[in-house]
Each structure stands twice: as structure tokens, then as C-alpha cells.
Amino acid sequence: MGYGSVFAPALFAGKVIVVTGGGSGIGRCTAHELASLGAQVVLVGRKVEKLQAVHDEITQDGGFCSFDVCDIRQEESVRSLVGTIVARHGRIDGLVNNAGGQFMTPLEAISAKGWEAVINTNLTGGFLMARECFVQCMNKHGGSIVNIVADMWGSMPGMGHSGAARAGMVSFTETAAIEWAAKGVRVNAVAPGYIASSGMDNYPAAVAPMIREMAKTIPAGRFGTEAETAAGIVFLLSPASAFISGTTLRIDGARPQARMGWPMRTPDAKIQERSAVKPFNGFHRATTPKIFQNKP
């Protein structure tokens, strides 16, 4: 049993695609789908044990994968990493800027150190990866970059540092799409909404009930899957999106459109069963986040 991608087999045969934050969650799922479509996937992250585990999964499934440990917040480390990847594979055709992280804290309680840590991970690190891929390879051969942001439209109460970083990455995406277009490089972003991903298990146990209730704020009536997010990323990397650059693809079940004063009408189980639009989960190794496994 392999990944159930909706895309054509061998779509990325011969292509080298780097996935940061590839050791878990959406990054892991995306790496699996890209490998199932023929890509040589390069996983990047800070924890070797996570990267090794995903590498082993992909190779067991018959895919091609390598990995490198790197803190993308460190400029010289990123420069060296990209040079190593280019030397090893000859080129980089795609970059998925997925690495990120944040913690839940109100603005008045965020220290300068905490603020900088989130900004450096979610904005500066993505910029450094994209810049080095462009400077060391893509400015000669073209390529595609997909930056992963978040549902920060309106606000991100409790995670203002992350909202600021993600909004900055959207602006960076739009600027890079213009500046690098002449070199055949497309730059887009994907904004996942509430996705049932392992990343949810990083939040304190005390907020688990609140997180489970968030599905009621989504017009689609459910959380998204990692595979639904990966599919958007894969599309933006693919030739089918050759005329798309500088855009942000929201994958969020219309959640930002929810408005006070308009009654929330989420589909019930019977409607979802009859609907032609059903959850997509082609990831054969997907696991349910613990936060949903342990609900009362």
C-alpha cells in the first residue's frame, strides 16, 4: 500500500525537492507524497531521529530520500546546507519552506527573546532557505518555492508573534515572485487552517478541549487533513501551476469567512455522508494526533 496521490505517477521524476521541517506533520506527509511521485526528496530539520524515521519510511515505500540536519535560523548553516545539497544532487528544483513553530502566549507576556525565536523560525529561516536556493541554483535553472504560512487573516490571538511572522512571509512571497520571475522561479505560499496534524500535540494539555471545539468554527464542519494540505503544496510545485506565482493558497474550509451575526451552519454527519465533497486522506501512514485520540 502506497501514498494515494491524486497526481500523475512520476510527475516529479528526476526532480530534487527540499522539504524543511520534514520530520513530522505536514512536512512529513508532503515529503511522502513527493517521493511517491518520483522526486528525490531532501528532508531538513533539527532533530536527526525524526528525519531518520521519515527517511526510513520513504525508502521502505520505494522512494528516494536523503536528509540533512540544519538550524535554518543560522545564516552560515543554511548557506552550507544548500551548497551541500547542490553538490550532492547537482541542482534544486523545488523548495517547501515548511519548518516553523510557535507557542501560545498573549502579547503582553511575550519576551523579546520569545518574539525573536518565533520570527527567526517562521520568517527569517524561510527567507534564508529561499535566498540560498535562488542564489546557489535556481537563478541558473529556475524552480519553484512554496512557503507554508498559516490562517492569520484578521488576527492570531494568543500567537501574535506567529501571526506577524506569517504575514511577513506572505509579503516576502509576493516580492520574491516579482524579483525572481525573470530567472524562471515561481514563489507561492500555502496557508493551512485548522489541520489535524501532529503539531497540535505540542500545545499544552490544558488547551486540548478548546482545540477540539475549534471544528465548530469551520464552515466545512471539520478539521482538514495533512494530505489535503500536501496536495495544495504539490500542485503549486507542479507544471500545472506554471502561470501561478505570488499567490497564497488557503486550505482552511472557509474558516476566515465566518462572521458574527451570520449563523454557523456546519454540515451534519448525514449531509457529509451524501456530499460529493468528502475529506481526502491519501497518506497511507497518517496517524491521528494524540489530542483527538484521548478526548473524553
Domain ranges across the chain = 16-255+264-293
8 A C-beta contact, residue 75 and residue 98: no
Cα separation, 3 vs 37, whole angstroms: 9
pLDDT of amino acid 295: 56
Residue 193 has pLDDT above 70, yes or no: yes
Query: What residues pair up with 195 in beta bridges, in sequence order?
Result: 224
Residue 111, C-alpha cell as written in the block? 519576551
Tens-place pLDDT, residues 137-167: 999 999 999 999 998 888 888 888 989 999 9
Q: Is the pLDDT of residue 277 over 80?
A: no
**Backbone dihedral region of 119: left (phi > 0), alpha (psi from -120 to 50 degrees) or beta?**
alpha
pLDDT in tens, 37-74: 999 999 999 999 999 999 999 999 999 999 999 999 99
* pLDDT number for residue 126: 97
> Which amino acid is located at 2 in the chain?
G
Whether 179 and 127 have beta carbons less than 8 Å apart is answered as: no
CA distance 45 to 77: 12
Mean pLDDT across 184-211: 85
Buried b (16+ CB within 10 A) or exposed e, 69-86: bbebbeeeebeebbeebb
Please say whether the beta carbons of 17 and 85 come within 8 A. Answer: no
Using pLDDT thresholds of 50, 70 and 90, give the confidence band for residue 198.
confident
In this structure, how many other beta carbons lie within 10 angstroms of the beta carbon of residue 240?
13
Half-sphere exposure of 282 (CA within 13 A, CB side): 20
Q: How many other CB atoms sit within 10 Å of the CB of residue 163?
A: 23
Band of pLDDT at residue 271, cut at 50, 70 and 90: low
Domain 16-255+264-293 matching CATH 3.40.47.10: the answer reads no
pLDDT (average), residues 90-95: 98
User: Rounded mean pLDDT of 121-147?
Assistant: 97
C-alpha cell at 84: 551541500
Q: How far, in Å, are 39, 54, 86, 186, 286 from residue 59 at the CA level?
A: 12, 9, 21, 29, 16
Looking at residue 113, what DSSP letter applies?
A: H
CA–CA distance, 136 with 129 (Å, rounded to integer): 11
Q: In what order do the strands lie in the sheet with 143-148?
A: 64-69, 40-45, 16-20, 94-97, 143-148, 185-192, 248-251
